[in-house]
Amino acid sequence: MAKKPTHVSETPATQFLRQHRIAFTEHVYDYVERGGTAESARQLGVAEHSVIKTLVMQDEKAHPLIVLMHGDAQVSLKALARQIPCKKVEPCKPEVAQRHSGYLVGGTSPFGLRKAMPVFVEATVLELPGICINGGRRGFLVGIDPKILPELLQAKAVSCAGAD
């Protein structure tokens, strides 16, 4: 069995990080359909709480937005809608999310998006010493300091972890 490469070819996300001179580490794992952050965390030997999922959502007017959330947490859509503020937030259908982001679902990164979208990050993510977040391809995460997110992505901190 061939050893998995430790370097993945450039993605729009890694190009974006390099252009902005952001230090990151590359983490390759075997992508498992519907495995989610639990699977990537298990394979990489990291806490699922520090693996951040990039979710493409939309408001009641179908305007897209990005939510960055802990892998082991759910987004409270009601809490998010109150803080944005808007009437309603819901996940985009996979084909719509792909059209907005330019990434395949399962490989969506908040970096190097096809279309500029507002980014909201769960406030407790910013307190972590380091995170792993999708690097723009299925089976590929990048390790970064979460404290760069507000400035780099103009990401607004929100408190929306929980269930509706």
Element (H, E) at 77: helix 77-83
pTM: predicted TM-score of the whole model, two decimal places: 0.93
pLDDT tens digits, one per residue of 26-67: 999 999 998 999 999 999 999 999 999 999 999 999 999 999
Q: Give the torsion through C-alpha atoms of 90, 96, 98, 101, to 10 deg.
A: -70
Element (H, E) at 150: helix 149-153
Amino acid 7: pLDDT: 59
Amino acid 3: pLDDT: 42
Is the pLDDT at 9 greater than 90? The verdict is no
Q: What angle do CA 135, 139, 140 make, to 5 degrees?
A: 25
Identity of the amino acid at 140: F
Eight-state DSSP code of residue 6: S
pLDDT tens digits, one per residue of 70-96: 999 999 999 999 999 899 999 999 999
Environment class of 5 (CB within 10 Å of its CB; exposed 0-12, middle 13-18, buried 19+): exposed
Is the pLDDT at 120 greater than 60? The verdict is yes
The C-alpha atoms of residue 77 and residue 65 are separated, in whole angstroms, by 12
Nearest by Cα to 41 from 63, 33, 50, 32: 50
Nearest by Cα to 114 from 123, 104, 106: 104
Amino acid 82: pLDDT: 95
Judged by DSSP in three states, 82 sits in helix
Eight-state DSSP code of residue 110: S
